[in-house]
């Protein structure tokens, strides 16, 4: 489970980094930055939904740190 979450975080950070590179190279002349940021949002939403389902299925347990 930890490996899947780590991979998802790496995908999110990678998409954010590629958006920065596209922003610097294209200087706003193409939509590649927008697509990379949309992909990052999609990865974030998928990670959130996956964590909700994993909690519901009992694959992960709350640790009680928040209290």
Give the confidence band of 2 by pLDDT, cuts at 50, 70, 90.
confident
Res. 66: pLDDT tops 70: no
pLDDT 10s digits, 8-57: 999 999 999 999 999 899 887 888 899 999 999 999 999 999 999 999 99
CA-CA distance, 35 to 37, in Å (whole number)? 5
- Cβ-contact 62, 55 below 8 angstroms: yes
Domain ranges in the chain are 2-57
Q: Given this model, what pLDDT does residue 7 score?
A: 93
Q: Given this model, what pLDDT does residue 67 score?
A: 58
Res. 64: pLDDT tops 70: yes
3-state secondary structure 3-40: HHHHHHHHHHHHHHHHHHHHHHHHCCCCCHHHHHHHHH
């Amino acid at each position: 489970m930890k490996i899947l979450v780590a991979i998802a975080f790496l995908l999110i950070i990678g998409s954010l980094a590629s958006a920065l590179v596209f922003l610097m190279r294209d200087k706003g002349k193409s939509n590649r930055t927008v697509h990379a940021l949309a992909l990052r949002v999609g990865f974030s939403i998928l990670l959130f939904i996956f964590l909700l389902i994993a909690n519901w299925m009992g694959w992960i347990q709350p640790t009680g740190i928040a209290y």
